[in-house]
Amino acid sequence: MRQDKKQTAGKCKHQSACLLLVASLLSFVYSLTISAGEKEGKPRQQANTSQSNSRSVKPSVSGARMIPQTVLASKQAPGGEPELVTDGEVATAWNAGGGPPQWIQFDLGEPIAISQVLLNVGQTPEGPTVHKIYGGPTPDSLDLLGTLNGNTHNGQWLELKVTTDVRYLKVVTTKSPSWVAWREIEVYSVKMN
């Protein structure tokens, strides 16, 4: 009986090390699979490969945070209003109350040169997700700015670096193991206020 316990303990330690290695590799792969907009002439997006940013540490920001005039969404659960993604609190969230596909859209009020979009994930359970970020001058004229594709978990910060002029910004989630929800979505302009 003692021998069985020792073997089990040894296996558990080995499994923990393997799980840690797999989690680190998935985080690295996620950061490398951030893809650029598919339209010709769009600059290639920079993949953020910092492991701390694949956890709950907020990436560093540059520029001024832009607060949208209006926030619309495909759906919302009771108590999960779309405006909650702009309140500066990761303890609150927009929750669509359903699985993908779901979207949330900002109207920034006027065309603005943006440099960065930060998104804080609201997701249980963790797993593979695909989020497409669009921007443009009108809600009917949006171009794909980038795709965030990888394993994500609740509280994780995602980042898309992009330099383009937009008035409307739309995040469309096409794949997720859970209901679609975001704790925060922050848009930063190129210039400082």
Contact 139, 177 (CB under 8 A): no
Closest CA to 171 of 88, 80, 96, 61: 96
* Domains identified in the chain and CATH numbers: 2-189 (2.60.120.260)
Q: Look up tokens 């190129």; give the residue.
A: 190
pTM: 0.73
- Reported as a single tens digit per residue, the pLDDT across 181-192 is 999 999 999 975
Q: Which residues of the chain have pLDDT under 50?
A: 1-53, 193
- Per the rule left: phi > 0, alpha: psi between -120 and 50, beta: everything else, 162 is beta
How many alpha carbons fall within 13 Å on the CB side of residue 53?
Answer: 16
| Mean residue pLDDT across the chain | 80
CA–centroid distance for 39 within its chain? 21
